[in-house]
């Protein structure tokens, strides 16, 4: 079997492109690594005198000799281009051999250089097409890639054309072992590195995508919820930065109601009603499932609503809470967790998990159906009596 990494050059005549004089153009077909690239030679021959088997013009006329000498020179030049690439580059393909022969070598770009250009453009779109948290994430990933290149290759950057499939698998191992990053977060990092490579391919800064076969996977993770002590840490923490205080309060509101971010952000005073029991309830449907999601308004949640009833955003938009965007909420929650000494990864979704476990089931809080209260469609067996005042006795600080 012929080695796929052996260079093959075939000279052929394209009979379908005969000119008005009946002459047909010659092409060189460069094959390497199982891939082809065609080169127009700017030579034309009489189809009756062309020998397709040997790739030369038949006969000994001066015209035939000149054309055959030119063909030999072209084949030699293509082989020289290939030899030159072997001395300087780790990755070679037919397209690069063609570019080298034509003196049109593909531009040599560096990975971190492209990363920086991408991040700079993204920075200019903050507040328009992207949020700051997305830009920050790309900057973080860029930093991890830089660390990996220094660790693995002992250099500051790497040429795109020198990147092979093993780069991404080794990067995955580096993040998990050297940095202790979980699988799903690692996959989110790799997705963004793959995006940078895709941009490079689309701009022809790299002739193929070395990560095309890498599939990003996710693993089902156990839910994260806060313990009682961690909820108290959040409630008692004094913040000098107003935005952090507001995000903390909005997060705690979801902890004590079970409302997801998208549902909590839509709540107005019209959603608060007095139930048959004489107590205040929040009455609404979940955006995601359109299932009725009524929850009792606990003292902690009621105190938070009271705190923000005169907030400019709430007054202008008829909202219960000054909710930020989901991306901003999650970004600020990371700051809040650090300031409170909470090591868990706080997100808007963990508030719902906290409500469904720490605030309810783990404390014998008897809503008719805890799973129905957060708006879940499946009803589990629950009939408890509420005693939040026993477990979470103090309302949120004003």
Residues 9 and 78: beta-carbon distance below 8 Å:
yes
The pair of structure tokens assigned to 212 is 């095309």
| Whole-number Å distance between alpha carbons of 378 and 366 | 17
Q: What is the pLDDT of residue 124?
A: 92
- What is the distance in angstroms between the CA of the first residue and the CA of the last residue of the chain? 79
pLDDT band at residue 10, thresholds of 50, 70 and 90? very high
The answer on pLDDT for 144 being more than 90 is yes
Higher pLDDT, 376 or 361: 361
- Give pLDDT tens digits for 35-88: 889 999 999 999 999 999 999 999 999 999 999 999 999 999 999 999 988 887
Least confident of 23-27, 343-347, 354-358, 380-384: 380-384
Q: Give Cβ neighbours of residue 276 (< 8 Å, ≥ 6 apart).
A: none
pLDDT-derived band at 374, boundaries 50, 70, 90: very low
Cα torsion angle, 121, 125, 131, 132, sign: positive
pLDDT classification of 123: cutoffs 50, 70, 90: very high
Neighbours of 284 (CB within 10 A): 21
The C-alpha atoms of residue 128 and residue 144 are separated, in whole angstroms, by 27
- Greater confidence, 372 or 43? 43
**Burial class for 358, CB neighbours closer than 10 Å (0-12, 13-18, 19+):** buried
pLDDT (0 to 100) of residue 375: 40
Chain position carrying tokens 């006795």 = 393
**Binning pLDDT at 50, 70 and 90, where does residue 259 land?**
confident
- Provide the pLDDT for residue 77: 94
Q: What is the pLDDT of residues 280-298, one digit of tens each?
A: 888 875 544 444 557 778 8
In whole angstroms, what is the distance from residue 303 CA to residue 312 CA? 18
Tokens of 247: 């995000």
Q: Is 140 helix (H, G, I), strand (E, B) or coil?
A: helix
Long-range CB pairs of 187-195, under 8 A, 24+ apart, other chains included? 187/216, 187/217, 187/218, 189/141, 189/144, 190/214, 190/216, 191/216, 192/137, 192/138, 192/141, 193/141, 193/145, 193/168, 194/168
Single out the residue of 205, 207, 210 nearest to residue 118, CA to CA: 205
341-371 residue pLDDT tens: 998 888 888 888 788 766 664 443 444 434 3
**What integer pLDDT is reported at residue 4 of this predicted model?**
58
C-alpha 29/C-alpha 71 separation (Å) is 12
Percent of the chain with pLDDT strictly greater than 70: 84
Q: Is the per-residue pLDDT at 318 higher than 90?
A: yes
Residue 352: which H helix or E strand, with range? helix 348-356
pLDDT at 310 over 50: yes
pLDDT at 69: 95
Tokens of 232: 């108290």
Question: What phi, psi does 295 have (nearest 5°)?
Answer: -135, 145
Note the pLDDT of residue 221: 61
393: pLDDT strictly greater than 50 = no
Q: Closest Cα partner for 255 from 309, 298, 223, 293?
A: 298
pTM of the model: 0.42
Burial 43-74 (b: 16+ CB within 10 A, else e): bbbbeeebeeeebbbeeeeeebeebbeebeeb
Q: What is the DSSP letter of 397?
A: P
Token pair of 214 as six digits: 């890498």
Q: Pairing mode, if any, of strands 272-274 and 280-282?
A: antiparallel
Could you state, in order of their start, the residue ranges of all structural domains in the chain?
Answer: 8-102, 111-202, 228-391
Instruction: Kindly report the CATH class assigned to 228-391.
Output: mainly alpha
Residue 5 pLDDT exceeds 90: no
Q: How confident is the model at residue 105 (pLDDT cuts 50, 70, 90)?
A: low
Place of tokens 């996959």: 187
Tell me: pLDDT of 131 over 80: no
Confidence of residue 395 (pLDDT cuts 50, 70, 90): very low
Chain-wide mean pLDDT for the chain? 82
Phi-psi region of 130 (alpha: psi -120 to 50; beta: other; left: phi over 0): beta
Which of 102, 106, 55, 54 lies closest to 77 in space, CA to CA?
102
* Longest distance between any two alpha carbons in the chain, whole Å: 110
DSSP state of 208: S
Contact (Cβ atoms closer than 8 angstroms) between residue 210 and residue 163: yes
Tokens of 226: 């806060």
| pLDDT at position 390 | 37
The token duo for 320 is: 């219960």
């Amino acid at each position: 079997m012929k080695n796929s990494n052996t260079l093959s050059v075939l000279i052929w005549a394209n009979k379908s492109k005969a000119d008005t004089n009946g002459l047909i153009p010659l092409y060189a077909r460069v094959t390497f690594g199982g891939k082809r690239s065609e080169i127009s030679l700017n030579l034309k021959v009489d189809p009756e005198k062309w020998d397709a088997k040997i790739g030369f013009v038949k006969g000994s006329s001066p015209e035939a000799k000149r054309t055959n000498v030119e063909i030999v020179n072209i084949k030699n030049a293509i082989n020289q281009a290939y030899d030159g690439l072997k001395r300087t580059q780790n990755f070679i393909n037919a397209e690069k051999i063609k570019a080298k022969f034509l003196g049109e070598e593909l531009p040599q770009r560096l990975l971190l250089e492209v990363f920086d250009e991408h991040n700079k453009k993204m920075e200019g779109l903050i507040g328009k097409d992207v949020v700051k948290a997305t830009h920050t994430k790309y900057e973080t990933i860029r930093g991890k890639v830089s660390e990996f290149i220094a660790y693995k290759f002992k250099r500051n950057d790497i040429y795109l054309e020198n990147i092979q499939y093993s780069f991404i698998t080794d990067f995955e191992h580096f993040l998990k072992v050297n940095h202790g990053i979980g699988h799903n977060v690692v996959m989110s990092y790799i997705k963004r590195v793959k995006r940078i490579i895709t941009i490079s391919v689309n701009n022809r800064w790299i002739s193929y995508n070395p990560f095309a076969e890498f599939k990003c996977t996710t693993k089902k993770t156990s839910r994260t919820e806060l313990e009682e002590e961690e909820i108290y840490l959040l409630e008692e923490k004094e913040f000098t930065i107003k935005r952090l205080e507001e995000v903390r309060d909005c997060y705690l509101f979801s902890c004590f109601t079970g409302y997801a971010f998208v549902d909590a952000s839509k709540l107005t005073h019209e959603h608060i009603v007095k139930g048959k029991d004489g107590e205040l309830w929040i009455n609404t449907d979940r955006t995601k499932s359109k299932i009725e999601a009524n929850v009792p308004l606990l003292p902690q949640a009621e105190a938070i609503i009271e705190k923000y009833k005169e907030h400019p955003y709430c007054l202008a938009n008829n909202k219960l809470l000054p909710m930020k965007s989901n991306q901003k909420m999650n970004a600020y929650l990371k700051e809040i967790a650090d300031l409170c000494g909470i090591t868990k990864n706080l997100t808007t979704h963990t508030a719902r998990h906290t409500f469904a476990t720490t605030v309810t089931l783990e404390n014998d809080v008897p809503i008719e159906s805890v799973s129905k209260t957060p708006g879940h469609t499946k009803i589990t067996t629950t009939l408890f009596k509420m005693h939040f005042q026993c477990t979470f006795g103090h309302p949120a600080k004003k």
